[in-house]
Amino acid sequence: MQEFNIQPINLNLTDQIQKKIDLKTKPSGSLGILETIGKQICLIQNTLEPTLQKPSLIICAGDHGITNEGVSPYPQEVTFQMVLNFLSGGAAINVFARQHDIRLKIIDCGVNYDFNDHNSPINCKIDYGTKNFLNEPAMSAEQCNIAISNGAKLVTESHHNGSNIISFGEMGIGNTTSAAAILCKLTGISPIEACGAGTGLDEKGIFHKAQIIEKAITKHQRATTPFEILYTFGGFEIATIVGGMLKAAELGMIIIIDGFIATAALLVANALNNNITDYCIAAHQSNEKAHLFMLQHLNLKPILNLGMRLGEGTGAAVAYPIIQSAVQFINEMSSFEGAGVSKSSSNEVKV
């Protein structure tokens, strides 16, 4: 597969960044996670004056053959119907992207539908959905490589257009099953621990989904490397996101991580190159059952916990203004000296 040269972030400015944060007109540490985010962005950009430029969000859509096993209460055609909704501007992610001036790209990675009119997604279609991974690998190694390469090209284009902060959304009926299988293979967690409600399964449906994953894992025991796991259990949209994340980190971009599916993609990307998490900010803790476990495995702390589990990149979009606030306080908040405010030896404001 394509190689990505992801460098660890440069820590040379660590002390200077921390000093700048500590000398702001506030008690030490009083801005909490904003201070952590601000410092991380400064380190990513190797600067004391960070910037966020042209935030972008790439929504990748694809269908899944595993839906033949009844793992979702929604029919497969909802995938293309929701893509049409994205294109018409009526989905939740459209609302939040407009609110925060985030540039959206809608990608057909493998939807089981032909988009023929002028208002179509970007065409990266590899096939009309993946195979049923209960019976055979979801895709071929070649198809997986194409998807990874597509993701890298899409991110490169956004970067060339001036974006330095990016996130990824997804749409694909059945993709929580793929994501849960990937989670099980990469971390050793059991299928029943990995499976949640997805698009609305009840307890019986969740148990059935876990059983399907258990059978598939038993069948595909030889899939052990991250790449093999991705093409055996993944979706075209998940593989595209993996390539996009890896390229974004290689380009030194800030990556906002959305929910369960996007984090499954990050699990694969991290297994391929563990420098990637230096560039990642977890937007929120999804209400999907095993998402917190995923984040803890990656040593990422989510900004928000709003009970969301919609996907589409919605959590990333909602978290974006908080990330903006982290950058703004670094750049615009006065220092004690500049504002003429006295401070104690512990940086507590004297009143």
Round to whole Å and give the CA distance between 127 and 131: 10
Round to whole Å and give the CA distance between 30 and 145: 46
The residues, any chain, with a CB within 8 Å of residue 344's CB and separated by 6 or more, are 350
Three-state SS sequence of 240-299: HHHHHHHHHHHCCCEEEECCHHHHHHHHHHHHHCCCHHHHEEECECCCCCCHHHHHHHCC
Domain membership flag for residue 76:
yes
Domain membership flag for residue 6:
no
* Separation of first and last alpha carbons in the chain: 60
- 250 is an active site residue: no
What confidence score (pLDDT) does residue 126 get? Answer: 98
Judge whether 246 and 280 are in contact, CB under 8 Å. Answer: no
- Residue ranges making up the domain that contains 187: 56-326
Mean pLDDT by 10 residues, the chain (351 residues): 95 98 95 98 98 98 97 95 97 98 98 89 98 98 98 98 98 97 98 90 94 98 98 98 98 98 98 98 96 98 96 98 98 83 55 33
Q: Measured between alpha carbons, how far is residue 320 from residues 53, 104, 112, 179, 324 in Å?
A: 12, 14, 32, 24, 6
Domain membership flag for residue 94:
yes
What confidence score (pLDDT) does residue 240 get? Answer: 98
Task: Please pick, among 77, 237, 312, 337, the residue that the annotation labels catalytic.
Answer: 312
Round to whole Å and give the CA distance between 187 and 298: 10
What confidence score (pLDDT) does residue 206 get? Answer: 94
Judge whether 170 and 311 are in contact, CB under 8 Å. Answer: yes
Domain membership flag for residue 28:
no
What confidence score (pLDDT) does residue 349 get? Answer: 44
Helices 236-250 and 141-160, interaxial angle, to 10°?
50
Domain membership flag for residue 162:
yes
Round to whole Å and give the CA distance between 38 and 67: 42
Here the CATH number for the domain that contains residue 200 is: 3.40.50.10210
Domain membership flag for residue 129:
yes
Domain membership flag for residue 232:
yes
What confidence score (pLDDT) does residue 351 get? Answer: 33
What is the number of domains present in the chain? Answer: 1
What confidence score (pLDDT) does residue 347 get? Answer: 52
Which residue, among 218, 220, 184, has the nearest Cα to 297 in the 3D structure?
184
Domain membership flag for residue 240:
yes
Task: List, as own/partner pairs, every contact residues 38-42 make where C-beta atoms lie below 8 angstroms and the sequence separation is at least 24, other chains included.
Answer: 38/326, 38/327, 38/329, 38/330, 39/14, 40/281, 41/254, 41/323, 41/326, 41/327, 41/330, 42/13, 42/17, 42/330
